[in-house]
A and B are shown apart, each in its own frame.
Chain A
Amino acid sequence: MRLLLAALLLAGAAVATAETAPQAQVQVSDSAVTAENFPARLSDYGFFADGARQVPAKGVTPYRLQTPLWSDGAEKLRFVYLPAGTKAKAQGDGLLDLPVGAALIKTFKLEGRLIETRVLLHRAEGWVALPYQWNREQTEARLALAGARLELKTPQGQAISYAIPNKNQCKECHQQKDAVVPIGPKARNLSAAWLASFHKAGKLDAVPLVTSRVPLWEDRAKLAAAPVARGWLDSNCAHCHNPAGSASNSGLDLRWEQSDPIALGINKRPVAAGRGSGGLEFDVLPGHPDKSIMLYRMGSLEGGISMPEVGRSSIDPDGMAAVTKWIGEMKR
């Protein structure tokens, strides 16, 4: 363990001084992923051959989502790690079933530099979510259990107080009933090509059958309003707004597969919205984006009003546009 640590430190030093990246032999530390403690540094896991340039180590595979969670416009780099000899299992169009020892890694980039990397570790007792904050020098990311606030600018140049979530806030979104689970890598939110390549690489037992795939976000201008908006709501809201999530008591269920209009907020009155209602009567009022609580809350930055409650410090203009179009096109 000490030797490995020393090796990693040396590797890091090499990156800091040399432009070359000869670290292809960097191995993920399975013990760091599955141990009971919280490793203090991101490099303790060895997920990256070159952390600063986000070059993954052996066994770590990059992926993207069809429609991602929006996080103040941050560029997000996603990776999945599977221990040697293990495979993910397809579960229809739902979450890939990742074995114990697997990890999901997501790095956030703003102002052209690495800000934070969040890891989800599949340990024997369940998934554990931890946030790591990158240093200025971009040589290391350190555990930020209590989260952090950083003064940053969005890609549009807006100054924001960017929030790195604390460990509990990670769980707020990742909790379903009593378990912490991944959110992103559902087969329906992954491209057919990526799933096929993951299977071909021997890391997925079968290519899952996806009957209804979430649209590719970049294609939204060419697509009907409903699937675009519903894909956005699924990725940005449904982790809490579902019957097993943190916002289950709201009765609002924004999952992709939900079809009951009331559950989707259509003509549904708020329950515990408080001033989040904005003086409006319905979550979604068909044909009236301006009278829909959903958009009021998406368009707010105030605590107690803004939704999602954590994970953003600015407004997602494209998400707003997609949901506005969806509600606007509904028959009054």
Chain B
Amino acid sequence: MRMPATLIAPATALALAAPAYAKVIPVPAGQNAQGRLQEALILAAPGDVVELGEGRFVLTDGLSLDIKGVTVRGAGMEATVLDFSGQKGAGEGLLVTSDEVTLRDFAVENTKGDGIKSKGADNIVYYRVRVTWTGGPKETNGAYGIYPVSSTGVLVDGCKVSGASDAGIYVGQSKAITVRYNYVEQSVAGIEIENSRDALVAHNFVTRNTGGILVFDLPNLPVMGGGNTLIASNMVVGNDTPNFAPKGNIVAGVPRGTGVMVMANEGIEIAGNTLVDNPTAHIIVVAYPKAFTDKSYNPYPRDVRIIVNLFLGGGDDPQLPGGKQLAQAFGGALPPLVWDGLGEAPRFPAPNGEVLKALNLGLASQGANPATAKPTLMAIKGSAPDLFTVAQGQASAGPPQPGAPAALDARARP
């Protein structure tokens, strides 16, 4: 045993010396992927690229990265696969806890918990990353596919998530966020923005989820007061997967067939989306429905604007109390918007004379049992002067333009 010790010691010391320049650290697939990849992630220096080879990395534990400015790059979201099917521990596949990290061009499959989590990791870029639970939608799948939390500056671009038992792409307790050009399917929530501000969710394709895009604000969390978020130009199509979230989670209450859902929050604009065949409702706007004691929390939706969206089909099989009868009463399908009647009524900045039809559930108060709803049809009249207040970003004294810092764009290119 002594011989190798003396031989190894100098070699290891060399490897541990910090380099003065950024370098590429190649990590091929193959034997002992866990140890080799984790060691590369620990020994990388700021600016380095950890380059994952083509093929399948068979992993037994969670991986983590805690070095600022590192890029983890694979050979493509189909070519490089981190396979966690045999994972024994940790709450996620890959955990990032450092700033300015770029994750790109690889896939994560079958993690026991979340796919990729980044916490307190400012200015992170997820680019063309795939997270898949290969067995389809199952309650035993991990909760979140792509899970940035407690961060400022988040860009999720060109990613693909399938099978998350909570949200495919979940951004929590963060600000300055862009989620764009992603494809999310067969998850309970396609994309969820929670307790966050200044988010731009644009040009995504969300289909076959329970609910397409959720914007929630919840009590009893270190960061509350979500809002100033723009949901624009998304394709929200056929979100009809039965809810398979484990009970206890807030998304377990999302009706199957929801297009876009806003819960609490302030200043949400839903603009220019194409919403097709979402069988409960294309857009749902509600107050937080549970009891709470947190005095600093506002459970009501405020200043929700719904602007020039295209609604096709949908509302024909609503998963709401008495939904079937309601749909029948309204000629076979509910109108595109369902509002619980609590907080401020959603607004419809559109030319005068245009009307957005909505179902007002008429709940008496926050926390009221949905079975006590007194639904009525309402028509929200177009109010042109408000058109595109956030979308145009012209308000000089108003809230900041939603979205991630422009500097992150450079890290999200082919």
Contact = CB atoms under 8 A, between A and B. Distances in A.
Interface of A: 9, 13, 36-38, 40-41, 135, 137, 139-140, 142-143, 145-149, 161, 163, 166-169, 171-172, 175, 243, 246, 248-249, 251, 262, 268-282, 293, 302-306, 309-310, 313
Which 3 interchain pairs have the tightest Cβ spacing?
A274-B143, A304-B113, A303-B112
Contact of B1 (A139, A175, A243, A277): A139
B111 interface: yes
Contacts of B9: 40-41
Most A C-beta atoms less than 10 A away, residue of B38, B91, B220, B222: B91
12 contacts: A143-B12, A146-B36, A166-B42, A171-B66, A249-B149, A249-B223, A270-B249, A275-B165, A279-B248, A280-B247, A305-B112, A309-B113
A249 B218 CA distance: 12
B272 to A, nearest CB: 30
Contacts of A161: 88
Given A269-B290, A273-B249, A274-B114, A37 B42 contact: no
Contacts of B111: 303-304
Contact of B91 (A36, A293, A304): A304
A30 B200 CA distance: 52
Contact of A135 (B1, B39, B140, B218): B1
Nearest to A283: B248
B135 to A, nearest CB: 14
Contacts of A268: 220
Interface residues of B, number: 65
Contacts of A274: 113-114, 142-144, 165-166, 246, 249
A127 B107 CA distance: 34
Contacts of B147: 272
Contacts of A310: 62, 89-90
Given A280-B248, A293-B248, A309-B90, A149 B61 contact: yes
A249 B173 contact: yes
B166 A272 contact: yes
Nearest to A167: B42
Interface of B: 1-2, 5-6, 8-9, 12-13, 16-18, 34-36, 38-39, 41-43, 60-62, 64-66, 87-92, 95, 97, 111-114, 119, 139-144, 147, 149-150, 165-166, 170, 172-173, 218, 220-223, 246-250, 290, 293-294
Contact of A168 (B17, B66, B141): B66
Nearest to A136: B1
Contacts of B60: 149
A270 B246 CA distance: 11
B170 A251 contact: no
A3 B211 CA distance: 67
B131 to A, nearest CB: 13
B220 A262 contact: yes
A270 B166 CA distance: 12
Contacts of A135: 1
Contacts of A146: 34-36, 38-39, 42
Contact of B89 (A143, A278, A313): A313
A146 B5 CA distance: 18
B1 A145 contact: no
